[in-house]
A and B are shown apart, each in its own frame.
Chain A
């Protein structure tokens, strides 16, 4: 990549060799460390369990984290810009339910998907406008929409899951391409494109300025309010995509999916280097965070460890990751 190439060109000036080491962006370091940890973890697991590195198991891990990882792309951009969205789980369920309802009315799959995603987009728009224009705290705003939307979808579905969705829809979640399940392609596509855009496009790069120093961003000519609204819409649409994939895979729109999802997604993003203070994080980091959590769950399963340990360990890792950041930061300043 160009960034890499530029970073490797020789520098003039004294002590630049030493500088070069320090100069790597914090997020880049984090991703590198995450990769090391994941490889190390996978190696140990491969020795501990012959099943771990089989194609089936890897596919299972990826399928299990499709939802978290897809939504984490939107969430990490929000976190970078200093925002937060707690309503992603509700939006995900809403999009599934709305699409399901439209499908059962006999409408074709593509228009049903569009209607579903529009419903999600609407919630994102409400979040964005309340936060950017009315200056309401993101936590409060999205807590409100999280609860409201959950209620709304129960009303819409009259409290019952929507079953018997047509094959033309379920193929999205159940189909295979060269033998690999479709959602995995969707996920990898979104992660790669998302990471490249957030790293290299001037448009999405604005999120770092907004999260780093909102007033300064405004004075640098960034349309802060517009950007924020866009990020909430983007997060909502990505939640919707996750909802579609999940609904299609189950062949039914459940009313309870996505409960507690928002915190798992935020956890993944933070393990991957994002900060609640904004200005830091990357899509790749968030994906690796989600992957690590997914691998952990899968491993505990394979090793026959009680499922209760999963939550315990995930929390522990989150705290360790944050301590690592703090210590790392202090070491650099010293």
Chain B
């Protein structure tokens, strides 16, 4: 089969990291090749090199037999390689039209923008993709999913030979994803070639012709999609067999007494008269659809979200939690679903993050921090939680998603909490780190800590929990015991069809 793009022995290093290590592959004309690997495997760097965002240290690339030499993204676009990034690159104040045709607006004499033509060609593009939008709408008025689609339209309208998509569905609804896949398949029929980066293996099997796996900057292999299954791919990505991702439960209902209880938690319509009890060593899953009120409830228990009513009992005592400080003092930890915006101090070092909730433990009598103690704690946590970092001084924002999540766990475990509320523990976390986080949860439970686990991924919830409570529109609509676990039953409670 004919190759449209050939990549030969590409390497790229950044200070301290060999991000892409001697990668060679060919892309067949008209195919969709999925690219998978854990965070930090080098996928994004490799694609940045193809897209002109980075320059390779060594190696060659050929598009249709022509050697490629890029100094900017513009060069790549001109050559025929376009890229859709994970992070949105739109300008909120400008119209849909000016975003799709950023810096490519049709112009008349004098370099003046030909608005009518711009709006017309935008209307055509939107129509082609079944979008009922007005080209003059400012982008900031659109929802995330629509913005993501615009991002793709922006790339497609450069009429590339090769289009690189980096996790395009991460913020799309199932319907939007379907529509996107249809469009990708149509474009494929018209001769466009795709590289599709994804964490979702189901998508890879649905869309791709071949799949390439990367790990630690190296190409591990390329397979036809028909000759592999999900387990093969996971094994290739993490470099070892993972037999049971979720681990074996250690809890049995006879050993743990109920030691943590909330009663009558109510706030307006977001959660209403919610009561629940947590046993020592139990992982209690909290299921529900988006908007069921789970996160609001968790935030309210921790004292950062509002409540109208509700009492908290810990070890038989009624405790008053008015603000997070009170909760922390009682040994309650809350790990937020949004680690970047709310969970971590991205600009600060790992060690500074670790001690944030427990500053007092590192403070001497005069109120000064004991930095030797801080450093020792950081070294210890990095080791315990297997965080990949060059040093304790590394800024957290420079870590991969999985390592950030592990850092957040390490940060809160320093508190040696009695109760842990964990909101979406593996959002945006790759397979390997996911496995390690599950192991840590199990470990914690076996030490007798009760865990309230909020997750939107049912397999995860079912795999980890000892018991699951389901929320629907602010109420607890059902309790499911381990022997009755099934996605169907949980979904029925979550949708409010059963209660």
Interface residue ranges, A against B (CB under 8 Å)? 2-3, 5-7, 9, 11, 13-14, 16, 19-20, 22-23, 25-27, 196, 200-203, 205-206, 208-209, 211-213, 215-222, 279-280, 332
For B104, the chain A residues whose CB sits under 8 A away are 220
Once bound together, how far apart are the Cα atoms of A11 and B136, in whole Å? 11
B128 at the interface (CB under 8 A from A): no
Chain B interface main SS type:
loop
| Given A23-B136, A219-B73, A221-B73, residue A200 in contact with residue B112 (CB < 8 A) | yes
Quick one: which of A23, A27, A222 contacts B134, CB cutoff 8 A? A23
B113 at the interface (CB under 8 A from A): yes
Identify which of B6-14, B23-31, B83-91, B373-381 touches chain A: B83-91
For B74, the chain A residues whose CB sits under 8 A away are 220-221
For A213, the chain B residues whose CB sits under 8 A away are 89-91
Chain B's nearest CB lies how many Å from the CB of A166?
Answer: 37
Once bound together, how far apart are the Cα atoms of A26 and B107, in whole Å? 23
Contact B95 A332 (CB under 8 A): no
Chain A's nearest CB lies how many Å from the CB of B115?
Answer: 4
Closest to A4 in B: B115
Contact B89 A280 (CB under 8 A): no
Contact A16 B90 (CB under 8 A): no
| Given A26-B93, A201-B110, A220-B73, residue A19 in contact with residue B137 (CB < 8 A) | yes
Quick one: which of A221, A279, A332 contacts B77, CB cutoff 8 A? A221
Contact B93 A22 (CB under 8 A): no
Quick one: which of A2, A205, A219 contacts B53, CB cutoff 8 A? A219
For A216, the chain B residues whose CB sits under 8 A away are 88-91, 102
Contact B103 A6 (CB under 8 A): no
| Given A206-B103, A208-B94, residue A25 in contact with residue B89 (CB < 8 A) | no
Interface residues of B in 13-68 (CB under 8 A from A): 51, 53
For A200, the chain B residues whose CB sits under 8 A away are 112-113, 115
Interface residues of B in 66-80 (CB under 8 A from A): 72-74, 77
Contact B103 A220 (CB under 8 A): yes
Contact B105 A19 (CB under 8 A): no
For A219, the chain B residues whose CB sits under 8 A away are 51, 53, 73, 83, 85, 89
Interface string of B127-159 (1 = CB under 8 A from A): 000001010111001000000000000000000
Closest to A215 in B: B89
For B111, the chain A residues whose CB sits under 8 A away are 201-203
Contact B137 A279 (CB under 8 A): no
For A220, the chain B residues whose CB sits under 8 A away are 73-74, 89, 102-104
Chain B's nearest CB lies how many Å from the CB of A298?
Answer: 33
B393 at the interface (CB under 8 A from A): no
Chain B's nearest CB lies how many Å from the CB of A82?
Answer: 11
Q: Which of A26, A196, A209, A212 has the most CB of B within 10 A?
A: A212
Contact B137 A23 (CB under 8 A): yes
For A22, the chain B residues whose CB sits under 8 A away are 137, 141
B116 at the interface (CB under 8 A from A): yes
Which 8 pairs, one residue from A and one from B, show the smallest C-beta to C-beta distance?
A: A212-B91, A216-B89, A221-B74, A220-B102, A200-B112, A219-B73, A2-B115, A3-B115
Once bound together, how far apart are the Cα atoms of A332 and B93, in whole Å? 13
Contact B73 A218 (CB under 8 A): yes
For A280, the chain B residues whose CB sits under 8 A away are 93
In the complex, besides A11-B134, A205-B98, A216-B90, 20 extra interface pairs with C-beta distance below 8 angstroms are A2-B114, A2-B115, A3-B115, A6-B116, A13-B134, A20-B134, A22-B137, A201-B111, A202-B113, A205-B113, A209-B102, A212-B92, A219-B83, A219-B89, A220-B104, A221-B72, A221-B73, A222-B102, A279-B94, A332-B141
Chain B's nearest CB lies how many Å from the CB of A318?
Answer: 20
For B89, the chain A residues whose CB sits under 8 A away are 213, 215-216, 219-220
Chain A's nearest CB lies how many Å from the CB of B96?
Answer: 10
Chain A's nearest CB lies how many Å from the CB of B7?
Answer: 20
B194 at the interface (CB under 8 A from A): no
Chain B's nearest CB lies how many Å from the CB of A219?
Answer: 4
B119 at the interface (CB under 8 A from A): yes
Chain A interface main SS type:
helix
Chain A's nearest CB lies how many Å from the CB of B123?
Answer: 9
Once bound together, how far apart are the Cα atoms of A332 and B139, in whole Å? 12
Once bound together, how far apart are the Cα atoms of A281 and B102, in whole Å? 18
Contact A6 B119 (CB under 8 A): yes
For A6, the chain B residues whose CB sits under 8 A away are 115-116, 118-119, 136
Quick one: which of B93, B136, B137 contacts A212, CB cutoff 8 A? B93
Closest to A281 in B: B93
For B105, the chain A residues whose CB sits under 8 A away are 202, 205
Interface residues of B in 307-358 (CB under 8 A from A): none
For A209, the chain B residues whose CB sits under 8 A away are 91, 94, 102-103
Once bound together, how far apart are the Cα atoms of A209 and B90, in whole Å? 8
For A13, the chain B residues whose CB sits under 8 A away are 132, 134
Contact A201 B112 (CB under 8 A): yes
Contact A7 B94 (CB under 8 A): no
Once bound together, how far apart are the Cα atoms of A23 and B95, in whole Å? 9
Contact A25 B116 (CB under 8 A): no
Once bound together, how far apart are the Cα atoms of A196 and B115, in whole Å? 13
Quick one: which of B93, B94, B103 contacts A222, CB cutoff 8 A? B103
For A218, the chain B residues whose CB sits under 8 A away are 72-73
Contact A5 B116 (CB under 8 A): yes
Contact A221 B103 (CB under 8 A): yes
Chain A's nearest CB lies how many Å from the CB of B165?
Answer: 15
Q: Which of B89, B114, B132 has the most CB of A within 10 A?
A: B89
Q: Which of B85, B102, B137 has the most CB of A within 10 A?
A: B102
Q: 27 A-B contacts, Cβ less than 8 Å apart?
A: A2-B116, A6-B136, A9-B116, A11-B134, A13-B134, A23-B136, A25-B93, A25-B95, A26-B138, A201-B111, A201-B113, A202-B103, A202-B111, A202-B112, A202-B113, A206-B103, A208-B98, A209-B102, A213-B89, A213-B91, A217-B102, A219-B53, A219-B73, A219-B89, A221-B77, A221-B103, A222-B102
For B88, the chain A residues whose CB sits under 8 A away are 216
Closest to A280 in B: B93
For B83, the chain A residues whose CB sits under 8 A away are 219
Closest to A24 in B: B136
For B92, the chain A residues whose CB sits under 8 A away are 212, 279
Chain A's nearest CB lies how many Å from the CB of B120?
Answer: 8
Chain A's nearest CB lies how many Å from the CB of B155?
Answer: 10
Q: Which of B85, B90, B98, B112 has the most CB of A within 10 A?
A: B112
Closest to B119 in A: A6
Closest to B103 in A: A220
Closest to A80 in B: B93
Chain A's nearest CB lies how many Å from the CB of B20?
Answer: 19
For A7, the chain B residues whose CB sits under 8 A away are 136
Once bound together, how far apart are the Cα atoms of A218 and B85, in whole Å? 13
For B90, the chain A residues whose CB sits under 8 A away are 212-213, 216
Chain A's nearest CB lies how many Å from the CB of B140?
Answer: 8
Chain B's nearest CB lies how many Å from the CB of A103?
Answer: 35
Once bound together, how far apart are the Cα atoms of A5 and B116, in whole Å? 8
For A19, the chain B residues whose CB sits under 8 A away are 134, 137
Once bound together, how far apart are the Cα atoms of A220 and B53, in whole Å? 11
Chain B's nearest CB lies how many Å from the CB of A13?
Answer: 5
